[in-house]
């Protein structure tokens, strides 16, 4: 099966736009049959405290197309160890992840096998690290998935990369727009 995602070469204008807006593409650091490691860094034009307050409100920045309900407004994160990254779906709910490390204004880590990974025998660890950088915040997102994948990691990695890069870019864009 061929990878359905095709990325066109970036034009010089697009590269300049992405650099100006702080939007970046994630890098697939590693992919093998049983593991994936993706990391991306983006700048947000807000303080770490402001970015963290937004980060723990995924209903404000997560893409609703990547939810089970079709609406990001149904997402919530209880930003404390053991807290749920959950979604309300009709009369039911889905746990996308569980908070395993919360250090306000600095770091949020979730045990989260997201989307179709949820039904596989895998572990996914999603980390958002926030660091002051000039007048803004450097956000480093790392997503590591390991285990018995239904598809080989090399085939899944580009798709996961695209989805997670989109989420991180949305977080940075909402922060830049000042929506808190």
- Write down the pLDDT at residue 41: 94
Domains and CATH numbers, the chain: 28-177 (3.30.530.20)
Burial (Cβ within 10 Å: 0-12, 13-18, ≥19) of residue 164: buried
pLDDT digits (tens, 9 = 90+) for 34-81: 999 999 999 998 999 999 999 999 999 999 999 999 999 999 999 999
Instruction: Please state, in angstroms and rounded to a whole number, the distance separating the CA atoms of residues 66 and 43.
Output: 23
Which phi and psi angles does 125 have, rounded to 5°? -115, 115
- Write down the pLDDT at residue 111: 98
Chain-centroid distance, C-alpha 128: 8
pLDDT digits (tens, 9 = 90+) for 131-144: 999 999 999 999 99
Enter the pTM of the model.
0.84
- Write down the pLDDT at residue 16: 33
């Amino acid at each position: 099966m061929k990878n359905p995602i095709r990325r066109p070469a970036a034009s010089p204008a697009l590269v300049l736009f992405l650099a100006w807006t702080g939007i970046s593409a994630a890098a697939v650091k590693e992919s093998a049959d049983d593991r994936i490691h993706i990391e991306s860094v983006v700048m947000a034009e807000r303080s770490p405290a402001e970015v963290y307050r937004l980060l723990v409100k995924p209903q404000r920045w997560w893409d609703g197309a990547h939810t089970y309900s079709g609406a990001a407004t149904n997402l919530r994160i209880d930003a404390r160890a053991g807290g749920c990254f959950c979604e309300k779906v009709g009369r039911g709910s889905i746990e996308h992840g569980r908070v395993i490390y919360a250090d306000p204004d600095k770091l949020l880590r979730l045990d989260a096998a997201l989307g179709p990974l949820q039904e596989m025998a895998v572990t996914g660890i999603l980390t958002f690290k926030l660091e002051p950088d000039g007048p803004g915040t450097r956000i480093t997102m790392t997503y590591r998935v390991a285990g018995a994948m239904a598809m080989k990691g090399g085939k899944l990695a580009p798709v996961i990369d695209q989805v997670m890069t989109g989420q991180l870019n949305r977080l940075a864009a909402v922060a830049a727009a000042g929506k808190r």
